[in-house]
Structure 1
Amino acid sequence: MKFKFLSTVGLSLLALFGQAQQASWIWYPGDYEVWLSTKMQNRRTERGSFFPPFWKLDAHYVTVEFSKEYDLKAAETIEVFTEGQYNIKINGKLSYPYSNKITLQPGKQKINIKVYNQAHVPTVLVKGKTINTDNTWKVTFEDKEWIDETGKASDASATLYLPAASWNFHEPHEKPSQFKLATRPEYAVSKDKTAGGELVDFGRETFGFVKIHGLKGSGDLDVYYGESKEEALDKEYCETLDKVRVGLPQKRDSVLELSKAFRYVNVQPGNGVSYDSISMLYEYLPLPNRGTFKSSDALLNKIYDVSVYTMELNTREFFIDGIKRDRWIWSGDAQQSYLMNYYLQFDAPSVTRTLYALRGKDPVTSHINTIMDYTFYWFIGIYDYYLYTGDKQFIENIYPRMQSLMDYCLGRRNKDGLMEGLTGDWVFVDWADGLSKKGALSVEQVLFARSLEAMSICAEIVKDNRAGEYKKVADDLKAKLFRYYWNQQKGAFVHSRIEGNQSDNVTRYANMFGVFFDYLNDEQKKTVKSNVLLNDKVAKITTPYMRFYELEALCALGDQKYVLDQMRSYWGGMLELGATSFWEEYNPDKKGTEHLAMYGRPYGKSLCHAWGASPIYLFGKYYLGVKPTGPAYSTYLVEPELGGLQWMEGNVPTPNGLIKMYVSTKEIKISGDEGSGTLRFKSRKKPASAQGTITSVGNNVYELTIQSGKQYAIKYTAL
């Protein structure tokens, strides 16, 4: 079934203001996301075997009530469509619909529709002239009404009503339960004969359904997939495969049932089976890339383009970790995808779908994905979402789930008030050989403190009087962070605290988060930079996952030139090895097929992993230099840094527009479609502009206010 996709701007508006421009299918907030994510994540297979997620999977509410009051000026006929059995009350009286059309008379009309569906999410679509289902309708999963012995209904209820949720389904045939990603045909670039079959090369990493043209015969056909040629040719150890039973007397085109990740496909037809050719249906979520970046460095441009493609492949029904192996929603991976999304697609619904899916429902029985740090990234991601979109309605809807998860965390602190892994907790941090997880790790306390700060801000948004309590716990924890982990002699946070004592080991993790969370003073930042981030004696990071944060910390310290060199070496190193998307892990010390191995398996590594696309975020935030300082870019700061480039240009998306920039060593051009911006830049000589007023703030730093809808050109001399 095909679905119309609104533009990203339109989707963002829906998310921000909760008002659909037309009738939409609606549901209980989070239920569709929970149902769809369960369906998606259970598609994972390993060598043909079903492989479900490790964590608790929740289900939707099977009965949901939808309601809204109208004051009609004239009679109106509405059409009601549901997914599930339903009844309708008009002004408290049950209606007996022999058709799905109901005529309402002028005056006040309260509509209540109750839908039951065990198989998938109860949803409803109402279409009329003025009466249309949208996010202004209220929903509940329990109405808590009762009647007394006289038959009188209760006058008041303890029912919790929430604004309805929706996405992009607007017509009766666009049933949410039937949603599928879009597909388009793509074709191989080459094919080679192999023993018993052929190896088909699609030219780059891709994702979709293999299509076999002119399939005929009776017998077996085996398909072995590979992100590399070596993997596809290794029948015993390739990560994914399909075994197809063929019984077709006449030639027919056949599309295999499950989409897969691959570049190469090794097709092995058994005796009595033949086919003409192989193609594929590329599967994707159709979102426009609104953010752009281009510079005077061709290698960096290629790194950006491959990052964009990597992000596209991993943006599906939700933000997933990697397209080959897991195809699951992991909170740590998703947190980075949210940030990259804000500088590329700026698709708010993809973020909220993923946040809902990760959280699931109460009761809380474990950390998100069972990983302590991934719980903290979830909290941080919610505040980041509010900062970039200004979507208060989402904060109000998700806040009760934030509270119960935070209560779970607060109840698992050790005697010193620190987060330490307990039975059932996976303390992950990063894939790194020899990384100790013993005791209470400093990085977990840093992330927990940030989560508490996010919790306090969200509590203020929803007017919860616990906001001050969350802030106090955060402040206390930050004080303990320095008391328990800061080592003055080493000029850094140590890695862990075991049985009340500091460990001797220094790692990069807590230190780099402390930099861009702004938990360190200027002197501490200097020592962390020299003693940790630029110190080769401290264990190096080999995953793009943590390189993301390490390079962000260095950018926050003003080392953009050094970071560009690191990008050329690290991401450029993958490109030199033939990468067409960026990997889960890259260690330049490895050779040959060592680059394909992980988890004790010869092809266990993902060669297309979402966290590999981090240059998108770094270029947008720390080179073009654009970041919101008020919700939804009501105010924003632009601090361009060339980092040794001769010029760069790009667009940074906002909820309803773009910030467009061109920066060279002599000129800055900038415009913004919304909000009030501050351009802050360095110039060796006094700059000039015919638009606006440039002011000096000292030390060769200047500022210019950017008003929406105006274009500015500044002549300056870069330092």
Structure 2
Amino acid sequence: MKNLKTLLLLTILSCLVAPVFAQEASWIWYPGDFDIYMSNVMQNRRTERGSFFPVFWKMDSHYVLVDFHKEFTLAQPEEVKLFVEGTYNVKIDGQAISGFPKTIKIPAGKHKLSLKVYNQAHVPAIFVQGKTVVSDESWLTTFEDKEWIDASGKTSDKSGTTFVSAGSWNLTDPNQLPSQFKLPVVAQFAVKKEQVNKGHVVDFGKETFGFIKVHGLKGKGRFSIYYGESKEEALSTDKCETLDYLDINLPVKKDSIMPLSKAFRYVNFQPENGVSADSVSMLYEYAPVTERGSFKSSDTELNKIYDVAKYTFQLNTREFFIDGIKRDRWVWSGDAYQSYLMNYYSFFDAPTVKRTLLAQRGKDPVTAHINTIMDYSFYWFLGIYDYYKFTGDQKFVQDIYPRMQSLMTYIDGRKNKNGLLEWMPGDWIFIDWADKLSKEGEVSFEQLLYARSLETMALCAKLANDASGATQYDKQAKALKTKIFELYWNQNKNALVHSRIDGKQTDNVTRYANMFGIFFDYFSPEQKLAVKKNVLLNDQVAKITTPYMRFYELEALCAMGEQAYVLKEMKNYWGGMLKLGATSFWEEYNPDKQGTEHLAMYGRPFGKSLCHAWGASPIYLLGKYYLGVQPTAPGYATYTIEPMLGGLDWMEGKVPTANGDIVVYCSKKEIKVSSAVGTGKLRFKSKTKPSLKGAVVKVVSTGVYEIVIEKGKEYNVKYSG
């Protein structure tokens, strides 16, 4: 006992005399500015056959002059180091410090530290490091401080200025300027080499992304590099989508790294006479995300589909979530929305979701839809509320809410006399890549997304403490939903028709609005069954051939308990790509196409992306609808687990959350569950009463049971599936 008291006393004393370690600082900037800047840098790297290929929409820029400040109360004087990207001044309690100090001393007491930074070329940013005085997202910023001075020289207060919390990417190296940010790289090597003409074609074994490095270049002349996601593309020197030319004059051997990263599996190297090279390799460029989610089952083909989907998604997770690694490499909102959902069941990388949402939205004033596409503006709204649902990060919603308001004001201003949206000059109504898909008139799909976005605005208005806005948006959403069913529901077809032209319903029924209506829960139970029969399971309704919309079609079927059917569809569709040699999933797959037809798109023989983010949707479907895990309160404070085998003998996996993983194993006789977060409800069907030690089994309805899941505990249920 004496020794225990002595140990306790020593522990207390050591705590009292322990050194105070500095808190971690990060580079900060005006919120959204670095996201916009870096997205501009990334998206303007796109080339086609060596030519610059810019985006189709307005690109915003950062504010060039930004004020940063924070108040601190110090128990003792503190020395603070300053790192700044730009020209700057420094003030303590409003008093300017002369010159451009690298280190300042702040006296004990309450003080306000301010920095004002100008930078036209790059984002104004600061890094402040003391023991307690550090730069982080608690700092306040503004792009206009609205100061004025009277005749006596007195400076006004700043009551007219809007200050917002600083933005950050958690860049914690003060010597690495934000403008120098780059993704990490690692050396990789080809697995096969084949002589072609005067050079070689090398195979890296699977779809990949990075910088080609040529070793031992020597001679005078041109060294040509042709990239291909397929061997056929790499060999097609006049039709491949991407290439590099090196004009060299080297008397001695030298290595050369290509200036831009590219997507490829095969690379065709062709030297002219007098030029030689020893070998080639690559620097694989990647986003350092952590693989947290997992899925494995009794079906080896499905396991392969999951693994390839995850690799596809990882390749398209970069500074932001992009569409595909070969061609666009742009931040398309519709593609990104699906990436957010896949992310929540794989990496759970919240920062990349936030930076992508900020980059897409850009600055006010709003002059067009996001990416110029009407439906893509709506996906942006949906992405924000889903982010809150999965993470519980209310602050981000509050910070971005003003930009939500201004975009919705723009959209509201484009309604026609019927209070509906239809094409106007400057709009692109996309919906999907599909032959003969009409975009004319008042398309029901757009009205459905509009209604859901208004519902999202009402929810986010509450989070942002905008009570009048919440009431207004809720009223608009309800009125629009009522109008949708009055104008588009066709009792004879038991479905929503595709569009209205000149105030009349068209005869066309498509899958789009109908499948969204199911998982938006807009239909009555009777309407859902009718839509499933007459639309989703009806081969007479035009089929979907892109993974983009197959994502939603299969989600709608899963939401109605058709996991066994969806399992077969996943194996046929994604398994079909695997049978054709895919090492990542494609932008489009039509089983009716033959041979190299699978490589063509946009009128170009190799125009199709063979690694497209929207091709990775099995990640989401398997996590949400087979393992059955989804939040019912923000940040998984509460959640449900409803495992459905759908024809599998067994399955197991992890679903990540912000505060730990939810682990599920399910066979036909046993369910095992453990969770690191919240309070969950395990719900399942059983032919007989299940057995379980240490928890209460609740009867929900005939053959349906429920168990409360507490964090930190393991549950092992014996049942009859």
TM value normalised by structure 1: 0.96
Question: Does 2:113 match 1:105?
Answer: no
Out of 555, 560, 570, which is 2:563 matched to?
A: 560
Counterpart residue number, 2:181: 179
Q: 1:22-65 CA distances to partner (integer Å, 9 max, x unpaired)?
A: 11111111000000000110000010000110000000000111
Q: Quote how far apart the aligned CAs of 1:171 are.
A: 2.0
Counterpart residue number, 1:548: 551
Counterpart residue number, 2:74: 72
Taking only aligned residues, the RMSD between alpha carbons, in angstroms, comes to: 0.9
Equivalent residue of 1:599, what SS?
coil
Counterpart residue number, 2:664: 661
Q: Quote how far apart the aligned CAs of 1:326 are.
A: 0.4
Counterpart residue number, 1:692: 695
What percent of counterpart residues are identical? 65
Q: 1:212-263 CA distances to partner (integer Å, 9 max, x unpaired)?
A: 1111111101111111111111111110011111121111111111100011
Equivalent residue of 2:513, what SS?
helix
Task: Map 1:307-322 onto structure 2 (within 5 A).
Answer: 307-322=309-324
Out of 593, 618, 639, which is 2:642 matched to?
A: 639
Counterpart residue number, 2:345: 343
Counterpart residue number, 1:630: 633
Q: Quote how far apart the aligned CAs of 1:271 are.
A: 1.1
**What one-letter code is carried by the residue in structure 1 that aligns with 2:236?**
D
> For residues 607 and 257 of structure 1, what CA distance do their matches in structure 2 show?
23
Equivalent residue of 2:238, what SS?
coil
Q: Which runs of 5+ in 2 are unaligned?
A: 1-21
Counterpart residue number, 1:652: 655
Counterpart residue number, 1:491: 494
Counterpart residue number, 2:673: 670
Equivalent residue of 2:338, what SS?
helix
Q: 1:402-448 CA distances to partner (integer Å, 9 max, x unpaired)?
A: 11100000000111111111011000000000000000111101111
Task: Map 1:146-225 onto structure 2 (within 5 A).
Answer: 146-225=148-227
Task: Map 1:40-51 onto structure 2 (within 5 A).
Answer: 40-51=42-53
CA contact (8 A) 1:320 1:610 kept: yes
> For residues 190 and 170 of structure 1, what CA distance do their matches in structure 2 show?
40
Counterpart residue number, 2:607: 604
Equivalent residue of 1:71, what SS?
strand
Equivalent residue of 1:466, what SS?
helix
Task: Map 1:237-316 onto structure 2 (within 5 A).
Answer: 237-316=239-318
CA contact (8 A) 2:429 2:439 kept: yes
Counterpart residue number, 1:704: 707
> For residues 548 and 225 of structure 1, what CA distance do their matches in structure 2 show?
29
Q: Quote how far apart the aligned CAs of 1:148 are.
A: 1.2
Q: 1:321-364 CA distances to partner (integer Å, 9 max, x unpaired)?
A: 00001010100000000000000000001001100111110111
CA contact (8 A) 1:185 1:279 kept: yes
Task: Map 1:331-370 onto structure 2 (within 5 A).
Answer: 331-370=333-372
Q: 1:179-235 CA distances to partner (integer Å, 9 max, x unpaired)?
A: 101111111111111122111111111100111111111110111111111111111
Q: Quote how far apart the aligned CAs of 1:98 are.
A: 5.8
Q: 1:644-671 CA distances to partner (integer Å, 9 max, x unpaired)?
A: 1111000000001000111111111111
Q: 1:527-584 CA distances to partner (integer Å, 9 max, x unpaired)?
A: 0000000000000000000000000000000000000000000000000000000000
Out of 447, 459, 462, which is 2:461 matched to?
A: 459
Counterpart residue number, 1:523: 526
> For residues 98 and 283 of structure 1, what CA distance do their matches in structure 2 show?
37
CA contact (8 A) 2:145 2:158 kept: no
> For residues 156 and 99 of structure 2, what CA distance do their matches in structure 1 show?
26
Equivalent residue of 2:307, what SS?
helix
Counterpart residue number, 1:617: 620
Counterpart residue number, 2:6: none
Counterpart residue number, 1:135: 137
**What one-letter code is carried by the residue in structure 2 that aligns with 1:196?**
K
> For residues 704 and 29 of structure 1, what CA distance do their matches in structure 2 show?
43
Question: Does 2:592 match 1:589?
Answer: yes
Q: 1:83 to 1:590 in 2, by over 3 A?
A: same
CA contact (8 A) 2:30 2:167 kept: yes
Equivalent residue of 1:192, what SS?
strand
Q: 1:156 to 1:27 in 2, by over 3 A?
A: closer
Counterpart residue number, 1:5: none
> For residues 684 and 175 of structure 1, what CA distance do their matches in structure 2 show?
62
Q: Quote how far apart the aligned CAs of 1:97 are.
A: 4.7
CA contact (8 A) 1:634 1:675 kept: yes
**What one-letter code is carried by the residue in structure 2 that aligns with 1:583?**
W
> For residues 23 and 675 of structure 2, what CA distance do their matches in structure 1 show?
25
Q: Quote how far apart the aligned CAs of 1:688 are.
A: 1.2
CA contact (8 A) 1:145 1:157 kept: no
**What one-letter code is carried by the residue in structure 1 that aligns with 2:80?**
I
Q: 1:302 to 1:21 in 2, by over 3 A?
A: farther
> For residues 148 and 676 of structure 2, what CA distance do their matches in structure 1 show?
52
> For residues 278 and 43 of structure 1, what CA distance do their matches in structure 2 show?
23
> For residues 202 and 140 of structure 1, what CA distance do their matches in structure 2 show?
48
Q: 1:439 to 1:98 in 2, by over 3 A?
A: closer
> For residues 168 and 468 of structure 1, what CA distance do their matches in structure 2 show?
37
Q: Quote how far apart the aligned CAs of 1:147 are.
A: 1.3
CA contact (8 A) 2:23 2:131 kept: no
Q: Which runs of 4+ in 1 moved over 3 A?
A: none
Q: 1:654-706 CA distances to partner (integer Å, 9 max, x unpaired)?
A: 00100011111111111110111111111110011112111001121111111
CA contact (8 A) 2:338 2:617 kept: yes
Q: Which moved more, 1:26-35 or 1:392-401?
A: 392-401
CA contact (8 A) 2:585 2:611 kept: yes
Q: Quote how far apart the aligned CAs of 1:99 are.
A: 3.7
Q: Which moved more, 1:20-29 or 1:543-552?
A: 20-29
Equivalent residue of 2:249, what SS?
strand
CA contact (8 A) 2:146 2:158 kept: no
Q: Quote how far apart the aligned CAs of 1:155 are.
A: 2.8
Equivalent residue of 2:698, what SS?
strand
> For residues 81 and 175 of structure 2, what CA distance do their matches in structure 1 show?
13
> For residues 515 and 336 of structure 1, what CA distance do their matches in structure 2 show?
17
> For residues 21 and 657 of structure 1, what CA distance do their matches in structure 2 show?
24
Equivalent residue of 2:568, what SS?
helix
TM value normalised by structure 2: 0.96
Q: Quote how far apart the aligned CAs of 1:21 are.
A: 5.9
CA contact (8 A) 2:137 2:166 kept: yes
> For residues 226 and 602 of structure 1, what CA distance do their matches in structure 2 show?
12
Counterpart residue number, 1:6: none
Aligned residues: 699
> For residues 295 and 142 of structure 1, what CA distance do their matches in structure 2 show?
57
Q: Quote how far apart the aligned CAs of 1:174 are.
A: 2.4
Q: Quote how far apart the aligned CAs of 1:386 are.
A: 0.6
